[in-house]
Amino acid sequence: MEQEGPLEPVLIQKLIEAATDQLQRAYAPYSHFQVGAALLAENGEIFTGCNIENAAYTPSNCAERTAFFKAVSNGQRSFRAICVVGGKNGVLSGFTPPCGVCRQVMMEFCDPRTFQIILAAGKNKEQSRVFLLKELLPMGFSPENLKAHRSFFD
Ligand code: THU
């Protein structure tokens, strides 16, 4: 059963803490920008992730994709929300919005009208803001687009 509507405040706080906990696991020896993510599956399970950089730079993986790939490889494909935190040397100073590639990965598994992206600039829920995927990736390309050609005006 898909759960819609705003996340309960305690759940938001739990996701912020889970994402923040991941900062220490970030492998970011090149940018020194550490990112943590906590992905909430429909069944309530939380999958965490950190960014993992590489000396060859391009193979680097963002925290959000680490969380998604962990979840999918664990059998989960339905998600409610993700929380992202990040900062230079792991110190949160502002929001860390997901990069374009990560937004596209979210588009693959999540309904852009309901999937919630929590950005937090601190450990406290009051320092966070919730966005819908459709707000951060308007008119995104999804598996739906491959099914049949649908006019923009349909
Ligand atoms: N990064 C993430 O992990 N998630 C984001 O939302 C933005 C950027 C990582 C990639 C790279 O390891 C470092 O932050 C600096 O760009």
Q: What is the pLDDT of residues 81-132, one digit of tens each?
A: 999 999 999 999 999 999 999 999 999 999 999 999 999 999 999 999 999 9
Please state the atom number of ligand 1 nearest to the C-alpha of residue 30.
12
- Band (pLDDT 50/70/90 cuts) for residue 4 is confident
The answer to pTM > 0.75 is yes
Task: Please tell me the distance from the alpha carbon of residue 145 to that of residue 98, in angstroms, as a whole number.
Answer: 22
Interval 40-47 mean pLDDT:
98
Is the CB of residue 90 below 6 angstroms from any atom belonging to ligand 1? no
Banded pLDDT at 149 (limits 50, 70, 90): low
* Confidence at 2, pLDDT banded by 50, 70, 90: low
Distance separating alpha carbons of residues 30 and 82, to the nearest angstrom: 25
Say whether 64 is catalytic. yes
Kindly state the tokens that stand for 56: 């060859």
Cβ atoms of 107 and 133 closer than 8 Å: yes
Q: How far is the CA of 7 from the centre of ligand 1 (A)?
A: 25
In the set 64, 108, 126, 135, the catalytic residue is: 64
Which helix (H) or strand (E) segment holds residue 79: the answer is strand 79-88
